[in-house]
């Protein structure tokens, strides 16, 4: 592949020349003009042999999201089973149930403290491998559970392993994906959450028909499948080129970039651009300080990055979706649906609908942009949760006879909320957090992202169980108000990340007001061969 054509002739165009150009030849593009010139000059084929190999490699990372989806959804379904409640002497809501859910979150938070050191010192593959071993061990403990001690220990270990796997995997996917495909590939990574969710809710619905312990032990045992596949997969995939460059292994990194970003050409313009930016931005000394978390906030640039990380970590978890994740069958009860079989079937169906929204959201990440999707989407989520609240309020009086149509209307709004949330947040939660973090702080920052997310989830898992038991549908009003607040915050402070390599975002966060700098556009000329060049 030849080097980029010189642009001096374009840069010498005067204002008068620009006016004389056909309007179809001029295009305003949001992002860095050098990056856009590079990717349009040397486009990659999405169906080449090496691209298909890349997809297979990234599938190993995506299985970490599958494991998270399975583990995050399975207990919601099991908690509604009469067989489980009878065996462990639990009820569906209340303090004891909240503790069983909450201990998973505590395990997540503790595990996240080890994410940065493991991923920075041993590599991204090591993080995924360690996470899969811990998840597998936890699945064995839970499947053999005899009492609450087993459940608490297994859930803690499960959360510990999930935090390491789901921090290292999106970091790996982001750093290995070609920059022009970054949002779609990492967005689809998080969409695999629903492959686990669909599998777990489907198995739970089917196994609920069995009598005795098999009803809940079979779904718990199936938690072993994703980590087993991950453990085998990490033995055959390459390491992150950014991590290799940070460790002084430039030749290995360049070979990986050439194969998967440049079609085997070491002189491919994109490969050369990335290697140059890696060397300029990766700070080896800081990356080796695996326990130094101060560099996450030691400059104004880094503080802006962590603010965006915090926004996504808290807003995504406290928008109402976690109520659906952990207590969806209970939400159906608030709509007058008391049959366990029907509630589990609706939970399974909701997973499929939500998966559809996530796939559509991943495909549109670059077209819509992160900031626009987040602030408009937050308003949509507020309206939909208001609908769930309105329908649920009709079932507050147990002596009141309410029509089936109102119950169905509430179910429809739950489905719509799940689909909309998956369109907005599911493809962006891991993507955006990893994008806004600098190279030398990405692994540690993703660990902090897990901590912040789970601080929110401590509230979701414990307080929600008590609130639903005490005040029922009135609790939903909190999320209606919160989503409106998030819309304001994303619109005012949200920083757009599309149209740039990860290294080029430094200029955005160094700007006086990053939200405005991120929205700046470059005027570019479209040549006859389709390449865009800066004016």
Give the pLDDT mean for 330-346.
Answer: 80
Cβ proximity of 140 and 224 under 8 Å:
yes
**Looking at the domain covering 294-519, what would its CATH class be?**
mainly alpha
Per the document, the length of the chain is 535
Write the DSSP symbol of residue 468: H
Residue 264 has pLDDT above 90, yes or no: no
Contact 107, 159 (CB under 8 A): yes
| Geometric angle at alpha carbon 327, from 321 and 331, rounded to 5° | 90
Closest to 420 (Cα-Cα) out of 375, 357, 479: 357
User: pLDDT at residue 28 above 70?
Assistant: no
- 44-237 and 294-519 have identical folds: yes
Q: Which residue has the tokens 């993080």?
A: 127
Strand partners, 28: 523
Alpha carbon distances (Å) from 259 to 45, 61, 71, 268, 355: 12, 19, 35, 10, 31
At residue 284, the pLDDT reads 42
CA distance 342 to 334: 14
Determine the angle formed by the axes of helices 225-233 and 148-176, rounding to 10 degrees: 40
pLDDT confidence band for 2 (50 / 70 / 90): very low
pLDDT at 445: 87
What's the confidence (pLDDT) of residue 495?
94
Q: How far apart are CA 531 and CA 42, in angstroms?
A: 9
User: Worst-scoring range by mean pLDDT, 37-41, 124-128, 429-433?
Assistant: 37-41
Model confidence at 529, in pLDDT bands (50, 70, 90)? low
- Residue 271 DSSP SS3: helix
pLDDT tens digits for range 312-329 = 999 998 998 877 766 677
Torsion of CA 130, 134, 135, 139, to 10 degrees: 150
pTM, two decimals, is 0.73
Burial class (CB within 10 angstroms; exposed 0-12, middle 13-18, buried 19+) of 158: buried
Contact 308, 441 (CB under 8 A): no
CATH of 44-237, one of 1.20.1250.20, 2.30.110.10, 1.10.4190.10, 1.10.10.10: 1.20.1250.20
User: Nearest to residue 73, comparing CAs of 243, 425, 324?
Assistant: 324
- How do residues 182-205 score in pLDDT, each as one tens digit? 777 777 887 888 888 888 888 888
Q: How confident is the model at residue 464 (pLDDT cuts 50, 70, 90)?
A: confident
For the stretch 55-73, pLDDT in tens is 999 999 999 989 988 876 7
Residue 255 has pLDDT above 80, yes or no: yes
For residues 268 and 38, the model is more confident at 268
pLDDT value of position 528: 60
**pLDDT(45) > 60:** yes
Could you tell me the residue ranges of all domains in the chain? 44-237, 241-287, 294-519
Residue 526: pLDDT band (50, 70, 90) is low
Q: Helices (DSSP H) in 318-369: which residue ranges?
A: 321-333, 340-363, 365-368
* Mean pLDDT rounded to a whole number for the chain: 82
What per-residue confidence (pLDDT) applies to 348? 85
Query: Which range among 90-94, 146-150, 208-212, 322-326 has the greatest average pLDDT?
Result: 146-150
Burial 294-327 (b: 16+ CB within 10 A, else e): ebbeeeebbebbbbbbebbbbbbbbbbbbbbbbb
The whole-angstrom separation of Cα 520 and Cα 448 is 30
């Amino acid at each position: 592949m030849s080097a980029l054509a010189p642009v001096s002739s374009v840069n010498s165009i005067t204002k008068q020349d620009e006016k004389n150009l056909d309007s179809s030849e001029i295009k305003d593009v949001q992002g860095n003009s050098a990056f856009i010139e590079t990717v349009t000059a040397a486009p990659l084929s999405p169906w080449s042999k090496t691209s298909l190999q890349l997809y297979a490699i990234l599938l190993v990372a995506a299985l970490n999201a599958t494991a998270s989806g399975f583990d995050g959804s399975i207990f919601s379904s099991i908690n509604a089973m009469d067989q489980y409640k009878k065996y462990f002497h639990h009820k569906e809501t209340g303090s004891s149930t909240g503790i069983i859910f909450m201990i998973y979150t505590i395990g997540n938070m503790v595990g996240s403290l080890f994410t940065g050191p493991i991923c920075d010192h041993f590599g991204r593959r090591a993080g995924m491998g360690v996470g899969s071993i811990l998840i597998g061990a936890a699945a064995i403990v839970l499947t053999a559970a005899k009492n609450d001690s087993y459940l608490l220990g297994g859930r803690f270990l499960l959360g510990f392993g999930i935090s390491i796997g789901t921090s290292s995997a999106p970091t790996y996917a982001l750093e290995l994906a070609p920059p022009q495909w970054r949002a779609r590939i990492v967005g689809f990574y998080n969409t695999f959450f629903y492959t686990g969710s669909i599998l777990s809710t489907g198995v739970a619905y089917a196994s609920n028909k069995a009598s005795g312990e098999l009803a809940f032990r079979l779904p718990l045992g199936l938690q072993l499948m994703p980590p087993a596949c991950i453990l085998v997969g990490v033995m055959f995939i390459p390491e992150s080129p950014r991590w290799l460059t940070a460790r002084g292994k430039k030749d290995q990194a360049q070979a990986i970039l050439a194969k998967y970003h440049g079609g085997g050409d070491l002189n491919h313009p994109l490969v050369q651009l990335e290697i140059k930016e890696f060397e300029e931005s990766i700070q080896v000394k800081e990356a080796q300080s695996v326990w130094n978390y101060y560099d996450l906030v030691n400059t104004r640039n880094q503080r802006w990055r962590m603010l965006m990380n915090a926004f996504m970590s808290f807003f995504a978890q406290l928008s109402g979706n976690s109520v659906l994740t952990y207590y969806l069958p209970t939400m159906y009860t608030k709509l007058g649906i008391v049959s366990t079989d029907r509630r589990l079937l609706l939970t399974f169906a909701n997973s499929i609908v939500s998966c559809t929204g996530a796939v559509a959201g991943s495909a549109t990440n670059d077209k819509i942009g992160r900031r626009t999707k987040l602030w408009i989407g937050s308003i949509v989520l507020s309206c939909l949760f208001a609908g769930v609240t309105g329908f649920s309020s009709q079932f507050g009086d147990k002596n009141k006879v309410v029509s089936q149509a109102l119950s169905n209307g509430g179910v429809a709004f739950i489905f719509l909320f799940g689909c909309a949330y998956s369109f907005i947040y599911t493809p962006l939660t891991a993507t955006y957090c990893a994008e806004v973090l600098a190279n030398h702080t990405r692994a540690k920052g993703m660990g902090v992202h897990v901590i912040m997310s789970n601080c929110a989830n401590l509230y979701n898992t414990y307080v929600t169980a008590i609130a639903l038991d005490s005040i029922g549908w009135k609790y939903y009003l909190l999320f209606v108000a919160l989503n409106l607040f998030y819309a304001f915050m994303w619109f005012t402070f949200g920083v757009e990340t599309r149209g740039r390599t990860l290294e080029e975002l430094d200029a955005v966060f160094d700007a006086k007001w990053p939200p405005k700098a991120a929205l700046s556009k470059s005027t570019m000329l479209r040549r006859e061969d389709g390449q865009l060049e800066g004016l």
